[in-house]
Structure 1
Amino acid sequence: MQIDKTELAAQVKQTGANIIHTIAAFTGEQFNSTPSYGGWTAGQVAEHLLLSAGVAEVIAGRTSPTTDRQPDTHLAMIAGVFLDFSTKLPSPDYIIPAEGYYDKEEMLNKIKLVWDKIGEGTRLLDLSATCLDFEFPGVGPMTRLEWIWFYVWHTQRHLHQLKNIYASVSCAHADRSA
């Protein structure tokens, strides 16, 4: 299977830019405010994305040639799960963010670095190789192609969440100012 990196590279670039733009729109206070409906703050969502950013290290880590399946075998399943915004997905304990204050600028800088690494990996690495340093829960080893698409779709899912949080905390802030 020949992998066309063009679409993936465009999605990596666009999703990285969108998450940075969306987080930048929050004030420091809004970034750490719980939405009216409960749940995570924008700061906690950003921390969750950083906790799951080990993808950048996984794709740069140990690999082996993928010989037992097509490199894109798991893409439809991953997309089906992470792009279904009508379902709430539980996070594994190791990527649940702590409660507390998060510095927006510090988080933005870290997120920019993650997306730079993922963009570089998309351009330079053999995306058909199977990553050996971490297995996706319930799936097993995944290719670089699958890991990168996972991070894109996982981030797009949380972009949707961040937009909802922004609407809630912006409205609450406007109500207090009135």
Structure 2
Amino acid sequence: MTTDISTALNNVKQELQQTIWGFTQEQFNLVPFVGSWTAGQVAEHIIRFSSGGAPILNAPGTVSERDPAEKIEQLRDLFLNFNIKMIAPAFIEPSGGPHQKNTVISSLENCFSPMIELSKSQDLTLIYPDFDLPQFGTLTRLEWAYFMLFHTQRHIRQLNNIKENLK
């Protein structure tokens, strides 16, 4: 399962970077419709969120008394349900910008690459006890990695929607 999540995280990183490259620098900072973030803001939000991935996968963990993949399906069902509008917690809300595409791409690489490497080498069955996720409680490292994956997939879809609305 470690190989699966490592590969999935690498693939989503590449898809995200390609999606961002699809915006011109100007488009990257345009609000596509009322109430929307810009593509740059979405990317900054992903960076703020994903920058916690490596520290979580590298933090001390506790032995789990349950299936380490138990909550993956629930996380997927929530984050890939595009009929639900989610509100980001304040600590991962993006700034107003403007955002530079090249800087964002570099920052994404710096967030995802360590997380991908740690997903190959760490014991993903351990629980990360330092944070209770509302609705889910504590998650295993494996579940956190999938959370990062699903969160990014959700925002890739949002970026594609933004791109469509800028045409």
Using the size of structure 1 for normalisation, the TM-score is: 0.88
- Tell me the equivalent position of 2:14: 17
d(CA) in 2 for partners of 1:47 and 1:135? Answer: 23
Residue in 2 aligned with 1:60? 58
* Contact 2:29/2:38, CA 8 A, preserved across alignment: yes
Quote the residue 1:32 is aligned against: 29
**1:151 CA drift (Å):** 0.4
Say whether 1:80 aligns with 2:77.
Answer: yes
8 Å CA contact 2:19–2:159 kept in 1: the answer is: yes
Q: Following the alignment from structure 1 to structure 2, what is the Cα–Cα distance between the partners of residues 167 and 38?
A: 16
Question: 1:70 aligned to 67, 71, 95, which one?
Answer: 67
Q: Specify the code of the residue in structure 1 equivalent to 2:19.
A: T
Per the alignment, residue 176 of structure 1 pairs with none
Structure 1, unaligned runs of 5 or more: 172-178
Q: How many angstroms apart in 2 are the aligned matches of 1:163 and 1:76?
A: 24
- Measure how far apart 1:35 and its partner are: 0.6
Moved over 6 A (4+): none
Counterpart mapping for 1:1-178 below 5 A: 4-53=1-50, 54-66=52-64, 68-169=65-166, 171=167
Greater C-alpha radius of gyration: 1
Q: Deviations 1:62-106 (Å, cap 9, x if unpaired)? A: 21111x211111111101100111221121121111222111111
Question: TM-score, normalised to structure 2's length?
Answer: 0.93
Counterparts of 2:71 and 2:130, CA distance in 1: 18
